Chain A
Amino acid sequence: MQSVIRTHLESVSSHSCYATELSFINSSTRRRSPPEWIMKTFCSVWLLLSLVELRPALPVSQETPLACRGPADPALQQPETPEEMDTTGDLEPTHYPARRAATVALHYLNTRHGSPYRVFGLQQVHKASAEDVAAGGRKYSLDFSVTTSPSGSAGPALRCSAEVLFPRTEQHTPPDVQLNCEALQQLNSTAEDEAFYQKYITPDSAVSAQYLPDSYGNMSEDMQPFWRLARVAASFIMLRESSENTEFNMAQVASITQQESSEKQLMLDYVVLLHDLPSQEIIQWKLLASWSPDSGVRVLQMEWQPRCPHATKPPN
């Protein structure tokens, strides 16, 4: 705002008052002109008035929006299937239909094998094809590679194949995934997972945090496993909500509150923000997740949240 006023003042002073002074100088040779002090006072008053005038010009939109608004129930969003989707047979691996189907397969993989120290990401799709099925859905066959995080793209990539079936029904039905990755069986709970579990399963542990990562991408190292756990838990939601017209990703953990452990499970209350690429919407979900190295991640409750702009914490 200051710079807006400053710029305005600059433009004002460079036009009106300067021009006034100039005309004063020029006109002095032709006829008598008002004394200098009157001109100076006039200019100062003019400037003051301009300052006052500026205030109503400040945009109304800077005020906090009045009401919560949220997108319609995402499950009800069924836009027309774009032409690209109707291709049967081989699909271009770099195009979005193959990528969206692979993303769904990734969500499924994470729900089954994700942990605080292992989140899977899509590296690339090698081959893809699609066909309509008798019951009115569409089945994608995929050959793709995944990375694990932490260690990200530097770590070894796993080769996977999957079949993803998107039912095309009136009401949204979650896709069905059959998945096979090499060396999956050999993936055990890591030592880091165990250490993390031991550290936070203690009765007095009560972790809570907001904005992981924050606006600048910062996140303490301590909170990263909680962030990854959220990513895994969110995968349950993303899997359930996916269709051929969505491409979900977790944008941020808005908040995490550790609940009392139950039956040797870490219990975590999360509010997560999902980003859908086609619509560009940010969708908020509240969920209660449990985890232990033996049981893996489970989502016990999930609830879609309307986005409230003035709330700094999510509603209870």
Chain B
Amino acid sequence: MRHYIAVFALLAAVYCEEVFNGDQVLRIHAESKKHIQILKELERDVDFGLDFWTNVVSTELPVDIRVPHARLYAIKNFLKENNIPFTVMINNVKELLDREREEMVHNAEMERKTKSFNFAAYHDLDTIYNFMDTLVANHSNLISKVNIGSTYENRPMYVLKFSTGGEKKPAIWIDAGVHAREWISHATAVWLADRIATDFKENRTPVPSILSQMDIYLMIVANPDGYVFTHRSLSEFYRFWRKSRSATSNPKCHGVDLNRNWDAEFGGPGASDDPCAEDYRGPSAQSEIEVKNIANFITDHGNFKSFMTLHSYKQLLMYPYGYVGTDAPDRTELHDVATQASKALNSWHGTVYKVGSIFHTIEQASGASVDWAYLRGIKYSFAFELRDTGEYGFLLPADQIVSTARETWYALRYIMQYVCDHPY
């Protein structure tokens, strides 16, 4: 149905554009009662051919008039003679219509693209990057794409910024795909991007109110090199790749575990110093360009209030610390928030998540991003391990993507609302 209206509008625009060629829209600023009187008379004179877009009311409100090309000279002279100030708001109505028409066609195409995007499938990096562009084009009033630097293999690292404006509003960070083989995390983030955009557009609580006070930064692919590598072949050496793709001191082994490379108790137990190991920490903290790019971006921004990272699998919702077993100072509050969030998650499909600190729930881990964020003062830092608990593990069937994404959204939404309600 919307399609037909769009086509009709298109035809109308084409027909009308010639009629409006050369017309201008003037904005009149009446300054006295006399001005108002004059304008009201103009308004009453229908034969003169002026098209009043706003009515003449008072000196408080400007009056917009579309003036046919043939009348332009006469009207401008008349206004000048009566000392009524005006500005040219639209220089040529036809041009404006042309631009609008182009935009309409473009938007319809973009909308078709996002509507036809298959969220229930795993996509390669190029497809995801194209999706980002389509989403930005379709929601340009809300979303922009930020390039925060390049990967080891020189791929761009993009963050989607959801913002209703303002200068460095308090912000929420969500990343996915730190570990390449955890495909459900990228797929979930793609769905989330679309969901946040749609909720904002359709004015669905609480997204508009959250975005009125905070910005959301969503990084769908934090490890593009690794992700591309997992697509190179069905062979397990590629599909189960976890790390980055940097060269190491061992020519036979590549890559660093991007979640052991952060400057948070780097070098402690809970990571390996063997380049061939899956949890190789790297030669030094932030040695990996991917980690450096994200860390620098967040530090330079300086106003992040929440940091969340999506991984798989095991169905866990965790908070700091990973590097040590002692409780974080905010442990009680973080545990409560995580517990409530996991209940919200559970309400969608009955999926059960366990809640606890990284150290106690999964294992000791040093150099983890969540610890880094927390130690930097970003209080509401959480790590998700998405579906499942081991049946399919990293190879979660695509028909579970949307369900997983939705339940994850319920948890994230809860946390974001909480963060928004508890400024610090």
Residues of A within 8 A of B (CB): 3-4, 7, 57-62, 65-67, 69, 71, 80, 82-84, 92, 94-96, 121-122, 124, 149, 152-153, 210-211, 213-219, 249-252, 254, 273, 275, 277-282, 284, 307-309, 311-312
12 CB contacts below 8 A, A to B, read A59-B153, A80-B269, A213-B397, A215-B230, A215-B231, A215-B239, A251-B236, A252-B236, A279-B279, A280-B278, A280-B279, A311-B235
Q: Which residues of B contact A273 (CB under 8 A)?
A: 236, 240
A59 and B245 within 8 A (CB) = yes
Q: Which residues of A contact B237 (CB under 8 A)?
A: 65, 307-309
Q: Which residues of A contact B154 (CB under 8 A)?
A: 4, 57, 59
Q: Which of B348-385 contact A (CB under 8 A)?
A: 350, 352, 354-356, 359-364
A61–B229 alpha-carbon span in the complex (Å): 10
Q: Which residues of A contact B97 (CB under 8 A)?
A: none
Chain-A contact segment, one of B41-49, B75-83, B111-119, B247-255: B247-255
Interface check B73, CB cutoff 8 A? no
A273–B181 alpha-carbon span in the complex (Å): 14
Q: Which residues of A contact B231 (CB under 8 A)?
A: 215
A146–B354 alpha-carbon span in the complex (Å): 16
Q: Which residues of B contact A61 (CB under 8 A)?
A: 153, 245-247, 254
Q: Mark B230-273, 1 if CB is under 8 A from A, else 0.
A: 11011111111010011100011110010000000000010010
A280 and B242 within 8 A (CB) = yes
B394 and A275 within 8 A (CB) = yes
Interface check B392, CB cutoff 8 A? yes
Q: Which residues of A contact B269 (CB under 8 A)?
A: 80, 82
Interface check B155, CB cutoff 8 A? yes
A121 and B363 within 8 A (CB) = no
Q: Mark B261-298, 1 if CB is under 8 A from A, else 0.
A: 00000000100100011110000000000000000000
Knowing A61-B247, A215-B234, A216-B398, the reply to whether A7 touches B254 (Cβ < 8 A) is no
Which one of B126, B225, B397 has the highest number of Cβ atoms from chain A below 10 Å of its Cβ? Answer: B397
Knowing A3-B129, A278-B363, the reply to whether A94 touches B354 (Cβ < 8 A) is yes
Q: A71-B276, A312-B235 given; name 5 further pairs at CB < 8 Å.
A: A7-B156, A58-B153, A121-B391, A215-B230, A307-B237
User: Which residue of B245, B314, B395 contacts A277 across the interface (Cβ within 8 Å)?
Assistant: B314
Q: Which residues of A contact B52 (CB under 8 A)?
A: none
A96 and B279 within 8 A (CB) = no
User: Which residue of A92, A149, A217 contacts B397 across the interface (Cβ within 8 Å)?
Assistant: A217
A153–B361 alpha-carbon span in the complex (Å): 21
B316 to chain A: closest residue by CB: A94
A216 and B394 within 8 A (CB) = no
A213 and B363 within 8 A (CB) = no
Q: Which of B218-236 contact A (CB under 8 A)?
A: 225, 230-231, 233-236
Q: Mark B132-154, 1 if CB is under 8 A from A, else 0.
A: 00000000000000000000111
Q: Which residues of B contact A65 (CB under 8 A)?
A: 237, 252-254
A59 and B395 within 8 A (CB) = no
User: Which residue of A83, A213, A249, A312 contacts B390 across the interface (Cβ within 8 Å)?
Assistant: A249
Q: Which residues of B contact A3 (CB under 8 A)?
A: 126, 129, 155
Shortest Cβ-Cβ A-B pairs, 10 listed: A217-B397, A280-B278, A309-B237, A249-B390, A59-B153, A94-B354, A95-B360, A217-B395, A215-B239, A282-B240
B400 to chain A: closest residue by CB: A217
Interface check B396, CB cutoff 8 A? yes
Which one of A57, A122, A215, A284 has the highest number of Cβ atoms from chain B below 10 Å of its Cβ? Answer: A215
Q: Which residues of A contact B239 (CB under 8 A)?
A: 215, 252
B395 and A94 within 8 A (CB) = no
Interface check B62, CB cutoff 8 A? no
Q: Which residues of B contact A219 (CB under 8 A)?
A: 397
User: Which residue of A69, A275, A284 contacts B276 across the interface (Cβ within 8 Å)?
Assistant: A69
Minimal beta-carbon separation of A29 from chain B (angstroms): 28
Q: Which residues of A contact B230 (CB under 8 A)?
A: 215
